[in-house]
Amino acid sequence: MAAILQASIPIFGMVFAHWLLPEEPLRWQRLLGSFVSIGGVALICVRLLSFNGWFAFLGGLGITFGAASAAFSNVLLKSRRMDLAPAMMAAWQMIFGTAPLLLIGWIVDGNPARFHWTGTAIFCLLYLAIIGSSLTFLLLYWLMPRMSVTKLQTISLITPPGAIAIGWALGGERLSAWSLLGACFVLAGVWMIFRPLADERATRECSLESEVAAPRV
């Protein structure tokens, strides 16, 4: 359920971009593509869908609010066109995210130095910190001025099928028919989002023709 709610980031992003970015109006094809992809994520996670009480419901609301906040922050950053180094933005994000997590973890679980850290646990921690967080957000902020925010936020749709593919390749997990069908829906939805629309193709062709026809000095 958390993966499905988190996959709503592109939908929130399209709505916010429609109001804050004039060059990225809301298009039904891309909105439909987002819903198709979310349907695929739901198929992948179908065996995990269940109502586990009000605390789970409130947790779902929190994840949805987090998805909307992430989408809004990306759109706002794109609209401000701030000339900041990707490393600086990623570093401050990691600092402000790590500090409260360390504090809450210390209060809830105790001193982490007293835990029994296995080699696998250390590897997973470093992988999530370096590959899954630092490098990922460096790439995100580097791509921000180079791509539309609508297309950029589709990364949240690719995560679930990517996870099951890695689990199958490295963890020996069995791929169910629902998972494969869901992955197909996700890829189809992402294709709908990235597929150029008719007016965009016409604008691009006119721009290329203007560049070719322009006199060279």
Q: How far apart are CA 3 and CA 161, in angstroms?
A: 11
Look at the block and give the residue holding tokens 């987090």: 66
pTM: 0.72
Crossing angle of helices 28-44 and 9-20, rounded to 10° = 160
Distances (CA, A) of 4 to 66, 119, 181, 186: 13, 31, 15, 11
Asked if 138 and 85 count as a contact pair (C-beta separation under 8 A), the reply is no
What is the C-alpha separation between 56 and 49, in angstroms, rounded?
A: 11
The DSSP string of the chain is -HHHHHTTHHHHHHHHHHHH-TTS---HHHHHHHHHHHHHHHHHTGGG-----HHHHHHHHHHHHHHHHHHHHHHHHHHHT----HHHHHHHHHHHHHHHHHHHHHHHH--GGGS---HHHHHHHHIIIIIIIIIHHHHHHHHGGGS-HHHHTTHHHHHHHHHHHHHHHHS-PPPPHHHHHHHHHHHHHHHHHHSPPHHHHHHHHHHHHHHHHSPP-
Low-confidence ranges of the chain (pLDDT < 50): 208, 211-212, 217
Residue-range domain boundaries for the chain: 2-213
Residue 40: predicted pLDDT:
83
**pLDDT of res. 72:** 92
Q: State which amino acid sits at residue 195.
A: R
